Amino acid sequence: MRDVAIIGAGMTRFAKHIDRSMKDLAREAVDGALSSAGVEKTALEAVAVGNAMAGLITGQECIRGQVVLRDMGIGGIPVINTENACASAATAFHLAWLYIASGMYDVVMAVGMEKLFHEDKQRSFDALGSAIDVELMQQTLASMDEAVGNDGAGAGKSRSLFMDFYAGLARDHMHKYGTTKEHFAKVAAKNHTHGSLNPHAQFQTPRTFQEVLASPMIADPLTRMMCSPIGDGAAAVILTSSDFAKRFTNKPVYVRASVLGSGKDLVPNAPGITERVGHKAYEMAGIGPEDVQVAEVHDASAPAELIICEELGFCQPGESGKLMDDGVTALGGRLPVNPSGGLLAKGHPVGATGVAQIAEIFWQLRGEAGKRQVAGAKVGLTENGGGMLGGEAAATAVHILTV
């Protein structure tokens, strides 16, 4: 397998882009990535395109990548469409990496894109709710409503049903380890503060943990600011072999690990999917969690960040609240997590998130992250999960990047 490098990245602002098409959003991200890399679109040998919800939101199915790329004059090369819930773009990146690592191609682009806003908000909730076993949908909704004391008008109706999954995980963590709502509020406040430094972020207003706690309750103990928003946007990165990268830049960022896994039936006390995939990524990269200097993780809710930090080995189980109390994961701390603002503030256009995380780490490792720059970062990690089956993510990808 060959060494793989990233040489360029582009991204739209994540936001409510009602008047912009998927083609328009993808074009901005692709043009940005090509310009950043100094590569002409004619140099591309293949493209992997991640998208999760277009079929349910816009009606575009089957050939989503070909549709957006042809509109910008990219065609005649392999275009792979990946749909893997919130891990769709990370899956596209994994395939692009594999194309390069295998020696098949020298220049490949990975794109993530999503249009999740719709005038009928229920349509957006229904689309998000499709990332579970739909044959068990009613049973799942009933069990979640009962757990939080609702009358059936909650999960999947007035909010994304995934917030109820996360609320359950939060309550379990609180019961087992003594984690508090204040810890979750501190995560959200940290990420909103980080997002205020990111011109690509959907929310760019710093928040205090008191403001987070005072925001409306969504699913106990999660308030609105502890939950990732619906959003639209796109991101793209250009990958090459490490030797080929030298033709374009003296600041390549190397992909030291690219691992994709899927959920399985849980065994009591056995490692979950994030821990399993993370362990494989550390082995592939030849490093440990103590070597990571900056991370972007899938904080679809505030407690998710704390749990993921434990699963990735950034701290021992039950100690993630202390990471927050001690400022370890904030900018200026020992291990900044989600300096982009994360899903909570940067936003979560589902099919774009995985590549957007990678773009952030690419900029961080090149020293190009502006006001949110992590000083001296040389090793970065991304973790992106998608869907839910049997109590854990249906798909999870972990990538480790270095300079």
Other Cβ atoms closer than 10 A to 246? 13
H helices, E strands: number in the chain: 15, 11
Catalytic (active site) residue 348: yes
Contact predicate 349/114, CB 8 Å: yes
**Residue 318 main-chain phi, psi, to 5 deg:** 90, -5
Catalytic (active site) residue 86: yes
Per DSSP (E only), the strands in 183-316 are 217-219, 222-223, 232-241, 253-262, 294-296
Rounded Cα distance, 49 and 234, in Å = 10
Q: Longest Cα pair distance anywhere in the chain, in angstroms?
A: 61
Which one of 118, 194, 298, 348 is the catalytic residue? 348
Other Cβ atoms closer than 10 A to 89? 37
Rounded Cα distance, 278 and 275, in Å = 5
Rounded Cα distance, 253 and 240, in Å = 10
Mapped onto helix, strand or coil, the DSSP state of residue 117 is: coil
Rounded Cα distance, 339 and 165, in Å = 25
Which one of 17, 86, 173, 227 is the catalytic residue? 86
Catalytic residues: 86, 348
